[in-house]
Structure 1
């Protein structure tokens, strides 16, 4: 099982879109996947088409993590209903694809503060101790470095950062890499940055072209490929609670192929060395 946090220090860069795009690729590949919606806004839960019943949301599971029975409280994504009945390429031999959700809620906000101690930081790890049936766990983090994100990092093997090719987002990504290195030293020596996803890239923008070159210079092998272009109909896809792999049209088909490649690169990423050493001095305009 690989546990990957999807993080960004800056809001509005499409972190949840990348999470759901990777979940869509995992579903299409037959990879048994759990999405943990740790953002109090719970946008990933909405986009994944969950229909919660009596199950506990992730916030209430975190309240009593040792008593939380993850298997009893996850909710199947509505995407599974829109896909094929089975996945012949499934890596775990299952008769049908698995995409479950630990449903988000505003309740998790009580943990999104900067003063969580070590015991609180282990809450999500305790909940995910019951996630052994999944090959992949994707954690959609809130856009901050407060308690929920650090709780996610404590439970993760890797952190994937999402950035737009813009000045403030690139600067925030550099700061987040340094924060990951400090967090590793104190709390999670096994954690590694899995890479950086350049999202919402506009091919005709000279500013985006410049920032992409800057990101390549700064982050080197941490900058994952392919980059994800701005998707005009992404809001429509998410609003309909559909997987991008099951949405009609060439635009969605092309986006699905990009997320397939991105997921493959992400899962094959070897744990790099010191994250701080991979962050180069940023050139100034």
Structure 2
């Protein structure tokens, strides 16, 4: 599943990390592919760029790449303790880096668009793959969409973000028709919502009207200590305090709805 937004600053990577945290807590073997050259997801997962094993080099050598062997375990998994079967839950990272930027151009041909699909098609270690995309519709995002079964869109309840999400849905529909007929839209997540803001309350209602059942539940509120959690490279499920527990519960609900679309609804 690709996590996408064509507008920066809406918390796309934060949603990726929250879902990864929920998957780890649920014991789902998960791989996070950090396709953004800024590598913020790798940093948040406690993993540093590691030279020629980063995702850019794996894409360059797609036919020979072994992503399960090259992926780096997140320290989050070590902090989670053993699962019921005595095994440490799996949360690995295909580490991001600037090298992947060579593919982030608008004129990428189909052969190159399929590189990530080729890399991922040979793995059988992970039940869930989350792809953190750059905030653009250049080659890397389209490469992620080509490799994905579904695309999850992240938006803030703000004028430009809502308009950008509507444009992204149109772009996704065109991409589906031209390249990947089976690609599905997982839905739209409203992120960083502030109940105290009349403007954001208005925009959230606008999102409900515009996106209908595609707007997922729950809405994710703006969390004051989110930067602290990410700065410490911790999973939200592993952070103390009521705010973190409430946030973790929302990501559990979101992940459950994505795994079982029939249970997802608009709130």
* 2:141 is the alignment partner of 1:144: no
Partners in 2 of 1:252 and 1:239 — Cα distance?
Answer: 14
From 138, 155, 158, the counterpart of 2:150 = 158
Q: Is the 8 A contact 2:5 2:168 kept in 1?
A: yes
The answer to whether residue 124 in structure 2 is matched with residue 127 in structure 1 is: no
| Cα gap change, 1:233 to 1:130, in 2 (>3 Å) | same
Cα distance in 2 for partners of 1:251, 1:169 equals 25
Residues 1:254 and 2:246 are matched in the alignment: yes
CA distance in 1, matches of 2:137, 2:90: 30
The SS at the match of 1:12 is: coil
Separation in structure 1 between the aligned mates of residue 123 and residue 246 of structure 2, nearest angstrom: 32
What's 2:159 paired with? Answer: 167
Aligned to 1:65, the other structure's residue is in SS state coil
Provide closer, same or farther for how the CA distance between residues 240 and 124 of structure 1 changes in structure 2, counting only shifts above 3 A: same
Give the TM-score, by structure 2 length: 0.96
**Alpha-carbon separation, structure 2, partners of 1:260 and 1:127:** 28
Equivalent runs, 1:1-285 vs 2, <5 Å: 4-51=1-48, 53=50, 56-84=53-81, 86-88=82-84, 95-269=87-261
Q: Alpha-carbon deviation of 1:243?
A: 0.3
Maintained 8 Å contact 1:22/1:263:
yes
**Cα distance in 2 for residues equivalent to 1:199 and 1:37:** 20
Name the CA distance, whole Å, in 1 between partners of 2:19 and 2:109.
31
CA distance in 2, matches of 1:200, 1:11: 13
Q: For structure 1, which runs of at least 5 residues remain unmatched after alignment?
A: 271-285
Aligned length: 262
Structure 1 residue ranges, 4+ long, deviating more than 6 angstroms after superposition: none
CA contact (8 A) 2:30 2:126 kept: yes
Q: CA deviation at 1:71?
A: 1.8
Gaps of 5+ in 2: 263-267
Moved more, 48-57 or 234-243: 48-57
Any conservation in 2 of the 1:71–1:130 contact (CA below 8 Å)?
no
What's the TM-score once normalised by structure 1's chain length?
Answer: 0.90
Q: Secondary structure at the match of 1:228?
A: coil
Shift of 1:114: 0.3
Secondary structure of 1:133 counterpart: coil
Q: Shift of residue 130 of structure 1?
A: 2.6
Range with greater deviation from structure 2 (66-75 or 160-169): 66-75
Alpha-carbon distance between aligned partners in 2 of 1:96 and 1:51, rounded to the nearest angstrom? 21
